[in-house]
Structure 1
Amino acid sequence: MPSFDIISEVDRQVIRDTVANVQREVANRWDFRQVTTSVELNEKAETVKIATESDFQLQQLLAILYDQLSKRGIERSACTIPPQPTHSGKLWSFEIPFKQGIDSLLAKKIVKLIKTEYPKAQANIQDKQVRVIDKSRNTLQAIMSLLRQTVLEQPLQFTNFHD
């Protein structure tokens, strides 16, 4: 039976490249000259920490990060921005985690959406992904299209398509 998996992952190498490009761009911008600024990647925790001297510059740094992520095809919803920046000494900072895998609430929402639109399709939650099985390949492609059009909390990828 045809099937595919729904996942949500961000490639670590892409994050590494993005951080390097943000650091390069900040070093070349005149509005960040003689300003304490840092962009650091914590690979173990899969987070990016951005810090600078003012809240306004922190927002600019965040915009640069978003721009570099979008150039690499990563949506804003792949990372979680805290509501308030952390203020420590003279630095304002954000610790930005990237979402890896589909959490159980979102997985249940995806399964419910698939079941209401396509009742014959089987959608099963497997750890941090959702597997969809149906007799028709066209139905699976329609489910993919439905999920692309639906606005969810994080970006989804479709892998492991089998006939």
Structure 2
Amino acid sequence: MPSFDIVSEVDKHQLTNAVDQVNRTVSNRFDFKGVDAEVEMRDFSLMVCAEADIQLDQMVDMLRGALVKCDIDPLAMQIGGREQSGKQIKVGITLKNGLDKALSKKIVKLIKDEKLKVQAAIQGEQVRVTGKKRDDLQRVITLLKGTALEQPLQFNNFRD
């Protein structure tokens, strides 16, 4: 029976490349000369540090651009609040990895409301969709790609 998995993953290697690219750009830009500004990475959370608000905003925009270049959807970014510590301003950014229960239930409800002949089951941080026809599974993928969700989705493990 054909099936596939709906997941939301961030490739850690590509994330590292994006962070390195932003740090390299900051060190080479004229308007950042002599400024203590950088992006630090811990697992799937980032800390953007700069000396002024405008520099912080520019670095977050650079990070968005670098993520797009590295094939990571910027919707995965969840930007936290700003903190002032000494002469630096910091903002924490977490990257959503995996589907939470609420979003998984929303995806299953969307699939069931479409009344296709498929079954959707939540399995941890992913949703498995099975059906008798490959065309029905492809309709589910098209439906979810056309739906605006708060998190980027990937479709993998497609089996016939």
Q: For this structure pair, what is the TM-score category when the shorter chain's length is used for normalisation?
A: over 0.9
Specify the code of the residue in structure 1 equivalent to 2:107. Answer: I
SS state at 1:85 partner: strand
SS state at 2:78 partner: coil
* Structure 2 Cα separation of the partners of residues 33 and 127 of structure 1: 46
Q: 2:125 aligns with which of 125, 128, 146?
A: 128
SS state at 2:127 partner: strand
Q: CA deviation at 1:89?
A: 1.2
Q: CA deviation at 1:119?
A: 4.3
Q: CA deviation at 1:118?
A: 2.9
Specify the code of the residue in structure 2 equivalent to 1:17. Answer: N
SS state at 2:89 partner: strand
* Structure 1 Cα separation of the partners of residues 125 and 39 of structure 2: 29
Deviations 1:88-126 (A, max 9, x none): 111111111111100000000000000001342100000
| Contact preservation (8 Å) 2:19, 2:39 | yes
Asked if 1:147 is matched to 2:144, the reply is yes
Q: 1:108 aligns with which of 89, 105, 124?
A: 105
Asked if 1:53 is matched to 2:51, the reply is yes
TM-score (structure 2 length as normaliser):
0.97
| Contact preservation (8 Å) 2:51, 2:89 | yes
Cross-structure match for 2:86: 89
Deviations 1:17-57 (A, max 9, x none): 111111110011111111111211112xx211110001111
Give runs of ≥4 in structure 1 deviating > 3 Å.
none
Cross-structure match for 1:25: 25
Cross-structure match for 1:36: 36
Specify the code of the residue in structure 1 equivalent to 2:130. Answer: I
SS state at 2:79 partner: coil
Asked if 1:71 is matched to 2:69, the reply is yes
Q: CA deviation at 1:148?
A: 0.6
Q: 1:117 aligns with which of 88, 110, 114?
A: 114
List gaps (5 residues or longer) in structure 2: none
How many residue pairs are counted as aligned between the two chains? 160
* Structure 1 Cα separation of the partners of residues 77 and 136 of structure 2: 31
| Contact preservation (8 Å) 2:53, 2:89 | yes
Q: 1:98 aligns with which of 95, 100, 107?
A: 95
